[in-house]
Amino acid sequence: MNLNKLYKVLEGQPKYRIQQAKDAIFKKLASNWSEASNISKDFKEKLNKECPLEIDGQIFASRDAKTTKALITLADGLQIETVMLSHKDGRHTVCVSTQVGCSLACTFCATGKMGLKRNLEVEEMLQQVLFFSRILKEEDKRVSNVVVMGMGEPFLNYDNTIKAIKYLNEDLGIGARHISISTSGVLNGIDKLANEKMQVNLAISLHAPNDRLRNELMPINKRFPMKDLFKAVDKYIIKTGRRVMFEYLMIKGINDSPEQAKELAELMKKPLYMVNLIAYNPTDVYKASDKNAIEDFRKVLEQEGVGVTQRYSFGQDIDAACGQLANKKNCK
């Protein structure tokens, strides 16, 4: 799928043609233009030739059936991963990548190890959701939530990410409140998002309770230290009135002590600040915190009055965290 080519083919056509094409992509969830209604046969053929709808994806299902991972091969042969999490309550969340690789080199992250290959185009982000939408359609189900938490830093591909989110919201019908963007703390992205008038959720990858440790784990912290990060978040909250989720990976022996929990609590004691503790998907560098350590950490935060949620790691058997599968492939 190539949206630029599509709009080129549709140039000069009446407006309703564009809507018909969009309906075929986002409502019918067609994987071939022949499935589109109200479009002449000749025109369908032209569309199939100029901007085919097929998506080259390979599925990996997790043993627990809650996680399905797809490896999507792009037109230039690079591969990206996308994960769908199926929840007990019937929701289906797709985790979208925004870049092939990432330039920010966080030490705990498999994507960071790849370096940046390139930004993704709008349609390459959409494909990741459409791929699962098409599969779910067969069972009369739909993608209900999107988290922009796959490979890459969304705010270093800001314009394409926002455009993709607009399509997901306006054309695919995913509620803005059901869409979350996670950033490692690219400050001008936070500022820009505050001005978008979109009801999407903002998450910040924090992972450390002080600059010393965060500098070590996330080199971006040297450019945008925590004081400035919180300033940007506070401005965002004043502007939008929306909650902000701080993600905190639980990495064994690195950031999971009760003292560090106390230090984190001091930073998080603000209205509309929330902490999400995330089970670490082990890499060859770090291990996941023990269950007890996570429990104790959580208790400290709660005792200090901080809002905490906990996310268990999905699909460890298929490497369903940030960049792990695609990284293995792209590095071979």
Question: Which residues of this protein are in contact with ligand SF4, per CB under 6 A?
Answer: 102, 104-106, 109, 111-112, 152-153, 184, 205, 322
String of contacts with ligand SAH for each residue 38-67, x by CB under 6 A? ------------------------------
- Determine the Cα–Cα distance for residues 213 and 309; give it in Å rounded to an integer: 22
Q: Which helix (H) or strand (E) holds 176?
A: none
Q: At its nearest, how many Å lie between ligand SAH and the CB of residue 36?
A: 34
DSSP state of 143: -
Q: Does 145 bind ligand SAH (CB under 6 A)?
A: no
User: Can 322 be counted among the known catalytic residues?
Assistant: yes
- Please state at what angle helix 158-170 crosses helix 122-137, rounded to 10 degrees: 30
d(CA 29, CA 1): 12
Q: Which residue is nearest to ligand SF4 (CB)?
A: 112
85 binds, among ligand SF4, ligand SAH, none (CB under 5 to 8 A by kind): none
Catalytic residue among 51, 81, 95, 102: 81
**Residue 119: contacted member of ligand SF4, ligand SAH, none (CB under 5 to 8 Å, by partner type):** none
**Binding residue for ligand SAH (CB under 6 A) from 119, 160, 182, 201?**
182
| Among 268, 322, 325, 326, contact with ligand SAH (rule: CB under 6 A) | 322
Q: How many Cβ atoms sit within 10 Å of the Cβ of residue 76?
A: 8
Our finding on whether 281 is near ligand SAH (CB under 6 A) is: yes
Structure tokens at 47: 């569309």
81 as an active site residue: the answer is yes
Report the greatest alpha carbon distance in the chain.
Answer: 68
109: contact with ligand SAH by CB under 6 A: yes
- Rg over alpha carbons for the chain, rounded to the nearest Å, is 21
The binding track of 246-265 with respect to ligand SAH, each residue x by CB under 6 A or -, is: -x-x----------------
Structure tokens at 70: 């797809």
- Residue at 87: amino acid letter: H
205 makes contact with ligand SAH (CB under 6 A)? yes
CB 201 within 8 A of CB 177: yes
Beta-ladder partners of 258: none
Residue 42, φ and ψ in degrees, nearest 5: -60, -45
Which of these segments, 33-41, 69-77, 192-200, 279-287, binds ligand SAH (CB under 6 A)?
279-287
Q: Does 149 bind ligand SAH (CB under 6 A)?
A: yes
Segment contacting ligand SAH by CB under 6 A, of 35-43, 129-137, 178-186, 192-200: 178-186
Cβ proximity to ligand SF4: between 114 and 172 the closer is: 114
Classify residue 12 by burial, with Cβ atoms within 10 Å: 0-12, 13-18, 19+: exposed
How many CB atoms lie under 10 A from the CB of residue 263?
A: 17
Q: From start to end of the chain, where are the E strands?
A: 57-61, 67-73, 79-86, 92-95, 99-101, 116-119, 145-148, 179-183, 201-205, 244-250, 273-279, 307-311
Q: Which residues in the 220-249 window bind ligand SAH by CB under 6 A?
A: 247, 249
Asked if residue 153 binds ligand SAH (CB under 6 A), the reply is: yes
Which among ligand SF4, ligand SAH, none contacts residue 256 (Cβ within 5 to 8 A by kind)?
none
Nearer to ligand SAH, 55 or 202 (CB): 202
Q: Is 163 exposed, middle or buried (0-12, 13-18, 19+ CB in 10 A)?
A: middle
Looking at the annotation, which residues are catalytic? 81, 322
Q: Note the residues at the interface with ligand SAH (CB under 6 A).
A: 108-109, 149, 153, 182-184, 205, 247, 249, 278, 280-281, 283, 321-322
